[in-house]
Amino acid sequence: MIGRLAQIAGAYFRSALQEEFAYRGDLFGNVIRSVLNLGTAIGGVVVIFSHTETLGGWTLGQTLSLLGIFVFVNGFVAMFMSPSLNRVVEEVREGTFDYVLMKPVPALFLASARRFAVWHVSDIVLGAIVLGVALAGLDVRASGWGVLLFVALLACGVTIVYAIWLALTTLVFWFVRVANVTMIFNLFFQTGRYPIEVYPFWLRQLLTFVFPVAFVTTVPAQAVTGRDPSWLVWVAPVIAVVALLAATRFWRFGLSRYTSASS
Amino acid sequence: MSADVRVRHLVKHYEVADREGGLRASLRSVVRRRHRSVRAVDDITFDVEPGEIVGFLGPNGAGKTTALKLLSGLLHPTAGEATVLDFTPWERRREFLSQITLIMGQRQQLYWDLPALDTFLVNKAVFGLEDAAYREAVDLLVGLLELEEILTKPVRQLSLGERMKAELAAGLLHRPRVLFLDEPTIGLDVTMQQRIRDFVTRYNATTGATILLTSHYMADVKALAERVIVIDHGKLLYDGPLTGLIDRYAPHKTITLHLERPVDRADVAAYGEVVSADDVQVSVRTDKAQAASVTARMLAELPVADLSVEDPPLEYVIDQVFHRRAS
Ligand SMILES: Nc1ncnc2c1ncn2[C@@H]1O[C@H](COP(=O)(O)OP(=O)(O)O)[C@@H](O)[C@H]1O
Ligand SMILES: [Mg+2]
């Protein structure tokens, strides 16, 4: 089953590559845009630190590491997640989602692994570079366990993002004209550019327990920059699993509503 | 051998929020929604045998698309039963979905910016087709649909008719045994409609697939389906051969006369209902049973130059079907 799904995802990925090559101009333009975006973001952080030594207790190097993680995850999400899920919203609107349901493959899989925005690979690479350079400047000793913990936390963060986005997408089964899901999502997701500590108390609670962006950048960054890992490290996997289970259940519920077309 | 499609008392109601126009009403409906039930499919029963082509006929909103969606597993019924290839469609089993297809004339699955061949390759993976089976299917479809030139051009550069052909092929690569075609000729010009019809006939003859198609073009139904199912307001009004439909709902013939000289209209009216009349050409509608004797009398009593006897046009028959139900 896994092998078959991998094959299917591979076929979709090849089509995505081909679509990208059909618009080679885009590829170039988007790499430039990634670089400019990153430049502005780094510039912003540097300007802030020209006025202060620390930001919410984070040093310049630590904050830049966090920014690298943010750019990386942002690129990952934009490349692997949002294209497919956004497509679901369009398809439900246009009625072509019927063709997805006609395929002998679980609908959730097709909803999640069908479209890829290949050129976002530049964000992924740039994010990794920023993280690497910032860490080198920090002079933290990376133990094997540390790296493993970091990767695990990053995986938890990405899982949480997927769960949130899936849940938002599922709303389309009730509100066909659901406001641009990407916008709602980004509103919160962009807060992940800075450590959670810079935000006021109420927003911190919101970003930890309701829309848990804290687990996407702050928590992995704490682990990798050698800051004292907070208790959130232990909560991350729990939240990730709970969010994923809840989101897929919600999806199934929404889908059953769609297939009985009661609206 | 059991029927490929078996439908028993199938019912589908949609709940729709009833809302009057205007801002006031819109605001009110947010607070207190009134729901109304639309009976899209209302207790229909029929069987389709393997290899049959059946035409679903009915005016807009009759419930044709809903019926096909139920049978292809996209919708759960409100009541009733159906099996397709012995599967219950809305359980959406993998084995079921691998053996059927639903192709909708108004909705497309092809990648817009890529050649259709790329969508084919994706479907090959999705349906888990072996290379040999895939090649064979593509060859068959390229032959039947004359696709050579079409498959390698980006879909957005294709004409509507070419795109429909490619859509059909994309939906048939996995060699489904049962085809649900919803308005496959909609919006196409007459020649292209004809091509699609020819394809359906030949595909059926070549593969023995069972085909249920809807259309509101009479020509489609006339050319394709020996058997028609007429539905209106979700109810099944007629199920049987096309000729039977004519006998039952429009049991008359139209006799058209070319006269040597004009005659008094009243003289013609004595033979039957005058459908049209100008100076020397008159059409009269008579009971089918009496057509022969009326014709004989006309020949004897009127200055006839030429004469033809025709079945009523299918459009007229369908009109009669729906009219009778309304009254
Ligand atoms: N998703 C839906 N929600 C509510 N009502 C629907 C929906 N789809 C179709 N209907 C209604 O059901 C009836 C039958 O529609 P349909 O099956 O599309 O008819 P046809 O294909 O014969 O034109 C129509 O009155 C239509 O408005
Ligand atoms: Mg329809």
Name the phi and psi angles at A227, rounded to 5.
-70, 160
Top pLDDT among A223 and B23 is at A223
Long-range contacts of B302-307 (CB under 8 A, 24+ apart): B302/B257, B302/B259, B302/B263, B302/B267, B302/B268, B303/B259, B303/B260, B303/B261, B303/B263, B304/B257, B304/B258, B304/B259, B304/B260, B305/B258, B305/B259, B305/B260, B305/B280, B306/B257, B306/B258, B307/B255, B307/B256, B307/B257, B307/B258
Q: Tell me if B74 sits within 8 A of B54, measured CB to CB.
A: no
Distance between CA atoms of residues B286 and B297, nearest Å:
13
State yes or no: pLDDT of B129 exceeds 50. Answer: yes
Among A59, A255, A233, residue whose Cα is nearest residue A154: A233
- Predicted pLDDT at A263: 46
* B184 and B37 assigned to the same domain: yes
CA atoms of B54 and B228, how far apart (whole Å): 6
Domain boundary pick from B205, B231, B246: B246
Q: Give the integer Cα–Cα distance in Å for B250 and B320.
A: 7
Task: Give the DSSP letter of residue B241.
Answer: E
> How remote is the CA of residue B63 from the centroid of ligand 1, in Å?
6
Q: What is the DSSP letter of B201?
A: H
Decide if pLDDT at B93 tops 70.
Answer: yes
Report the C-alpha gap between B88 and B62 in whole angstroms.
23
Sorted by sequence, the CB contacts under 8 Å of residue A200 that are 6+ apart come out as none
C-alpha B203/C-alpha B211 separation (Å) is: 10
Name the residue with tokens 């790296």. A147
Per-residue DSSP letter, B312: P
Instruction: Determine the average pLDDT of the residues in A237-257.
Output: 95
B69 in contact with ligand 1, CB cutoff 6 A: no
The top-scoring range by mean pLDDT among B8-17, B69-78, B214-223 is B69-78
Summary mean pLDDT of chain B: 89
pLDDT at A216: 94
Contacts of A99 in chain B (CB under 8 A): 107, 109
Token pair 């040999």 is found at: B132
Indicate whether B121 belongs to any domain: yes
Distance from the Cα of A81 to chain B's closest Cα (Å) equals 19
Do residue B167 and residue B261 come from a single domain?
no
Is residue B327 pLDDT above 60, yes or no?
no
pLDDT in tens, B130-145: 999 999 999 999 999 9
Number of domains making up chain B? 2
What is the domain range of residue B75? Answer: 5-246
Which of A11, A12, A263 lies at the smallest CB-CB distance from B15? A263
CATH number for B27: 3.40.50.300
Helix axis angle, A232-260 to A144-170, nearest 10°? 30
- Considering the domain boundaries, does residue B321 fall inside one? no
For residue range A134-154, list pLDDT tens digits in order: 999 887 777 788 889 999 999
| Cβ A7 vs Cβ B125: under 8 Å | yes
pLDDT at B130: 96
Q: In ligand 1, which atom is closest to the CA atom of B69?
A: 17
Q: Where are the alpha helices (H) located in B173-217, listed in sequence order?
A: 190-207
Nearest-ligand number for the alpha carbon of B63: 1
Angstrom distance (rounded) from CA A47 to CA A68: 17
> 3-class DSSP state for residue B212?
strand
Q: Residue B31 — very low, low, confident or very high, per pLDDT cuts 50/70/90? A: low
Residues of A within 8 A of B94 (CB-CB) are 104-105
Mind giving me the DSSP string for B44-73?
EEEEE-TT-EEEEE--TTSSHHHHHHHHTT
> Nearest 10 degrees: CA dihedral of B36, B41, B43, B46?
180
Rounded CA separation B303/B107 (Å): 56
CA distances from B145 to B23, B162, B195 (A): 51, 9, 8
The domain spanning residue B302 has which CATH number?
Answer: 3.30.70.980
pLDDT in tens, B220-249: 877 887 899 999 999 999 999 988 887 887
Q: Note the residue count of chain A.
A: 263
Whether the CB of B30 is below 8 Å from some CB of chain A: the reply is no
> What distance in Å separates the CA atoms of residue A250 and residue A162, rounded to the nearest whole number?
13
**Predicted confidence (pLDDT) at residue B124 exceeds the cutoff of 80:** yes
Q: The complex's ipTM?
A: 0.85
Place of tokens 């004469």: B307
- B155 contact residues in A (CB cutoff 8 A): none
Q: What atom in ligand 1 is closest to the CA of residue B63?
A: 17
Question: Do both B239 and B270 map to the same domain?
Answer: no
Decide if B108 touches A, using CB distance below 8 A. yes
- Report percent pLDDT > 90 for chain B: 54
Which token pair is A136?
């080198």
Residue from B292, B295, B288 nearest B252 by CA: B288
Does the distance separating the beta carbons of A4 and B124 come in below 8 Å? Answer: no
Asked if B209 and B267 sit in the same domain, the reply is: no
Query: What pLDDT does residue B262 have?
Result: 87
Residues ≥6 apart with Cβ < 8 Å to B199: B144, B145, B165, B168
Amino acid, res. B14:
Y
Q: Is residue B291 part of a domain?
A: yes
What pLDDT sits at residue B26? 67
pLDDT at B317 over 90: no
- Best residue for ligand 1 mutational test, from B10, B65, B216, B221 (most atoms within 8 Å of Cβ): B65
The SS3 assignment for A187 reads: helix
Task: Assess if residue B326 is contained within a domain.
Answer: no
B163, B300: one domain: no
B27 falls within a domain: yes
- What distance in Å separates the CA atoms of residue B74 and residue B70, rounded to the nearest whole number? 6
User: Is B161 a member of any domain?
Assistant: yes
Q: How many other CB atoms sit within 10 Å of the CB of residue B133? A: 15
Q: Is residue B316 part of a domain?
A: no
| CA dihedral of residues B138, B140, B146, B152 (deg, nearest 10) | 10
Higher pLDDT, A110 or B279: A110
Radius of gyration for the alpha carbons in chain B, expressed in angstroms and rounded = 24
What span, in angstroms and rounded, lies between the C-alpha atoms of A243 and A251? 12
Distance, first Cα to last Cα, chain B? 41
The Cα of B285 is separated from the nearest Cα of chain A by a number of Å equal to: 46
Q: Are residues B147 and B271 in the same domain?
A: no
One domain, residues B177 and B303? no
Ramachandran angles phi, psi of A177, nearest 5°: -100, 35
Per-residue pLDDT band for A105 (boundaries 50, 70, 90) equals very high
Answer yes or no: do B261 and B215 share one domain: no
DSSP state of A174: T
Q: Looking at beta carbons, which residues of chain A come within 8 Å of B90?
A: 259
Same domain, B79 and B173: yes
Task: Categorize the per-residue pLDDT at B171 as very low, low, confident or very high, splitting at 50, 70 and 90.
Answer: very high
Instruction: Tell if the CB–CB gap between A94 and B107 is shorter than 8 Å.
Output: yes
Q: Are residues B233 and B257 in the same domain?
A: no
B165 and B183 together in one domain: yes
Contact criterion met (CB below 8 Å) for B118 and A18: yes
Judged against a pLDDT cut of 60, whether residue B127 lies above it is answered with yes
Instruction: From B19, B41, B66, B71, give the residue whose CB has the most ligand 1 atoms within 8 Å, as the site to mutate.
Output: B66
Pocket test for ligand 1, best of B14, B213, B231 (most atoms within 8 A of CB): B14
Q: Which residues is B285 bridged to in the sheet?
A: B254, B273
Q: Is B102 on the interface with A (CB under 8 A)?
A: yes
Which DSSP symbol is given to B115? B
Q: Tell me the nearest-neighbour CA distance from A155 into chain B, angstroms.
A: 27
Q: Which residues on A lie below 8 Å from B95 (Cβ)? A: 104
Q: Indicate whether residue B14 lines ligand 1 (CB < 6 A).
A: yes
Do residues B149 and B276 share a domain? no
The pLDDT of residue A200: 94
pLDDT at A187: 86
CB atoms closer than 10 angstroms to residue A22: 14
Ramachandran assignment for B20, one of left (phi > 0), alpha (psi -120 to 50 degrees), beta (any other): beta
Q: Provide the phi-psi class of A64: left if phi over 0, else alpha when psi is between -120 and 50, else beta.
A: alpha
**pLDDT at residue B264, as a whole number:** 85
Q: A76 falls in which pLDDT band (50, 70, 90)?
A: very high
